[in-house]
Structure 1
Amino acid sequence: MNVRSFQLSDYKPLTELLEEVLTTECYEQTMEAFARQLSWDSDLVLVAVKDSEIVGMIIGTIDNNKGYYYRIAVSPEHQRSGVGKGLVTALRQRFVQRNVSKILITADEHNEPVLPLYESMGFATSDFFRAFQKLSIVTG
């Protein structure tokens, strides 16, 4: 398995993976965040490739010197095979290279099922950033 930065040629297989793995609501939110993150910093969108097929992806972001794991998705036939851990580890390396002060996991209602993955990698409940509202909405 190879973990690398997202490339434009990954768009179609990546969106197909997300459609397969995520609920409709989660897919729509993820695609918004995906587009936003690509415009800000595409090096924090990683894909896992196995036998020339995209089998997983992770979106991260940095805000106020904190690194956030936003969304992770792994194809059903590759879950529980180390793909998720590989993606988390690779993104963590990017955060460390950029000297973030703290790494947090966005724990919205869609990420609840994957929190045990992060816990198995040594993250504590205090590392979960519970955001149950859309961060892109501006009020006022």
Structure 2
Amino acid sequence: MDVRSFQLADYQSVTELLETVLTPECYEQTMEAFARQLSWDSELVLVAAVGNDVAGIMIGTIDNGRGFYYRIAVHPKYQRQGIGKQLIASLRQRFVQRGVSKIMITADEHNEPILSLYESLGYVTADFFRSFQKLSIVAG
């Protein structure tokens, strides 16, 4: 598995992955945030590739010196293989390299089911950022 920055050639695979994994409402919100983040800083959109397959994606952003894990999605056939953890670790490394003061997890209604994944990596409730704002508003 290779974790790398998003490339334009990944677009179709990423959108299909997001459409497969996310609810329709979450998909719409995520696509807005995805497009906006690509225009701001594409280095914070990571892709996990297994061979020629896009197995997972993670969207992050930096706002006011804080790094935010916004959305993570792993294709069902690749779940429970450590891909999500690798995406989180890779994005964390990018945040650290950029000197963020704190790393937060966006804990909207769509991320609630996977907060235990972050907890298993040592994050605590204080690291969860609960807001009704979307990434496109928060990071502007």
TM-score by length of structure 2 reads 0.95
The one-character-per-residue Cα deviations of 1:91-119 (angstroms, maximum 9, x if unpaired) are 00000000000000000000001101100
**C-alpha displacement at 1:136, in angstroms?**
3.8
Look up the match of 1:74.
74
Distance 1:75 1:135 in 2: 22
2:115 maps to amino acid: L
**C-alpha displacement at 1:133, in angstroms?**
3.5
Distance 2:76 2:18 in 1: 11
Distance 1:46 1:36 in 2: 14
The one-character-per-residue Cα deviations of 1:5-63 (angstroms, maximum 9, x if unpaired) are 00000000000000000000000000000000000000000000002110000000000
TM-score by length of structure 1 reads 0.95
**C-alpha displacement at 1:132, in angstroms?**
2.4
Identity of aligned residues (%): 72
**C-alpha displacement at 1:87, in angstroms?**
0.1
- Alignment length, in residue pairs? 138
Residues 1:21 and 1:95: Cα distance change in structure 2 (over 3 Å): same
Unaligned runs of 5+ in 1: none
- For the aligned residue pairs, the C-alpha RMSD in angstroms reads 1.3
Look up the match of 1:49.
49
**C-alpha displacement at 1:134, in angstroms?**
3.1
- Larger RCO: Structure 1 or Structure 2 (Cα < 8 Å, ≥ 6 residues apart)? 2
Distance 1:5 1:136 in 2: 20
**C-alpha displacement at 1:135, in angstroms?**
5.0
1:134 aligned onto 2:134: yes
